[in-house]
A = this chain, B = another copy of it.
Amino acid sequence: MTKFWSSMAKRAKPYIPGEQVNKQNIIKLNTNENPYPPAPNVIRAINGEVNESLRLYPSPTMDELRTTIASYYDVTADNVFVGNGSDEILGFSFMGFFEPGKPIRFPDITYSFYPVYSKVFNIDYETVPLREDFTINKEGFFNSEGGVIFPNPNAPTSLYLGLEDVEEIVQNNKDTVVIVDEAYIDFATESAVNLTKKYENLLVIQTMSKSRALAGLRVGLAIGNEALINALVRMKDSFNSYPVDRLAQAGAIEAMKDVAYFEEMTEKIIATRERTIEALTSLGFNVLPSAANFVFASHDTVAAETLYKKLRERDILIRYFGTEPIENYVRISIGTDDEMDQFLRAVETIIAE
């Protein structure tokens, strides 16, 4: 079976994406998607591009999209890279900044794609244990040999690391790249983007899949100094020159421009999150103080696996990891208020059983 596989194909330990279920009327709280639709302007912009022009290649440099992102973040287009979702940018980052033989560091509980990239690109890594309260232990990331990557807020813990701490990690890795994976940052307090103006070794990666409700369109972005962005461009143009299609570029531009809609939806999700945390706490859950569009929780008496399975029977999907030391935690994406009410009622019933 593996006769024709390269050593890279053999050593790979592929990522397993969250379940996508093709079923109506399911309450899908398992992959941290946005419960609200993309902005009406985004839909209009995409519709405007569904025409004859699809026969033509998209812009490989994505100038208009990069300029729009740059103006949102008050940087220049040369500080912006755009890719096919933030995962592709993470892949290019492992290729462009990390080196076989020089171990990088990431938290022991974190986005499970990091060890996958490490494996496939032959990058050694050391995991830095979270503190007992699941917060990131910043000192553990100081003076890494090969570089640092961590999500902020971290996943699946949902915890946000303050910018002073992020800055200290960056300062204490002067000769290597520190990547802050801000997939969930819009549900937290403040992005590290401004720090990229001060530190040449800091790369911030974000996605339009969560706060901008465009998981289906595959757009991610990275911000950093020009030398870092150029390394990403070199990796892209050594792999696939046009990873973001015409419709995705058109939609992403409007998603960045429509700030009012974006802020309204984000605030709505945050409000629902706070209400959900309160309700879960009063049902006997230990819920971490989330800065993301999901919560990470465990219950005093009902096992995480039981909760996951019984919710599933009721067509409510949440994420259960089942690995030490988070084997008694579940991750619950924040849905609409109505979805969360149904979820909470189901949880209440399960606990009472």
Chain A residues in contact with chain B, CB under 8 A? 1-9, 12-18, 20, 28, 31, 33-38, 42-43, 46-47, 50-60, 84-85, 87-88, 91, 95-99, 116-117, 119-120, 175-177, 200-201, 209, 213-218, 227-228, 230-231, 233-248, 251
Provide the bound-state CA to CA distance between A57 and B21, in Å. Answer: 11
Closest 9 CB pairs of A and B: A14-B237, A216-B246, A37-B52, A120-B238, A54-B216, A55-B213, A9-B96, A9-B231, A88-B240
Selected contact of A4 from candidates B47, B53, B176, B238, CB within 8 Å? B176
Contact B251 A248 (CB under 8 A): no
Which residues of chain B come closer than 8 Å to A52, judged between CB atoms?
37-38
Closest to A225 in B: B4
Residues of B within 8 A of A43 (CB): 50-51, 54
How far apart are A11's CB and chain B's nearest CB, in angstroms?
A: 9
Residues of B within 8 A of A98 (CB): 6
Q: Which of B18, B55, B234, B244 contacts A38 (CB 8 A)?
A: B55
A86 CB, nearest partner CB in chain B, Å = 9
Asked if A17 and B50 sit within 8 Å, CB to CB, the answer is: no
B5 touches A231 (CB 8 A): yes
Residues of B within 8 Å of A117, CB to CB, are 238-239
Nearest to A2 among chain B residues (CB) is B227
The reply to whether A95 and B209 form a contact with Cβ atoms under 8 Å apart is no
B234 touches A4 (CB 8 A): no
| Contacting pair A99 B7 (CB below 8 A) | yes
Give the Cβ gap from A163 to chain B, nearest Cβ, in Å: 21
In the assembly, what is the distance between CA of A6 and CA of B175, in Å?
Answer: 12
Contact of A36 among B55, B96, B241 (CB under 8 A): B55
Indicate if the CB atoms of B97 and A6 lie closer than 8 Å.
Answer: yes
CB contacts (< 8 Å) of A175 on chain B: these are 3
Docked-complex contact B55 and A5, CB < 8 angstroms: no
Residues in chain B near residue A241, CB distance under 8 A: 15, 17, 87
Cα distance, A56 to B28, chains bound together (Å)? 10
Contacts of A215 in B (CB 8 A): 54-58
Chain B residues near A96: list those with CB within 8 A.
5-6, 8-9
- Name the contact of A51 in the complex, choosing from B37, B58, B60 (C-beta under 8 A): B37
Query: Are A216 and B95 interface neighbours, CB within 8 A?
Result: no
Give chain B nearest CB distance to A216 CB in angstroms: 4
Residues of B within 8 A of A120 (CB): 95, 235, 238-239
- In the complex, A201→B5 CA distance in Å? 10
CB neighbours (8 Å) of A95 from chain B are 6, 8-9, 120
Instruction: Jot down 21 A-B pairs with beta carbons below 8 A, ordered by A.
Output: A2-B227, A2-B231, A4-B227, A6-B96, A9-B96, A9-B234, A20-B56, A20-B57, A20-B60, A38-B54, A50-B50, A53-B216, A54-B251, A55-B213, A56-B216, A84-B84, A87-B240, A91-B239, A216-B245, A216-B247, A218-B242
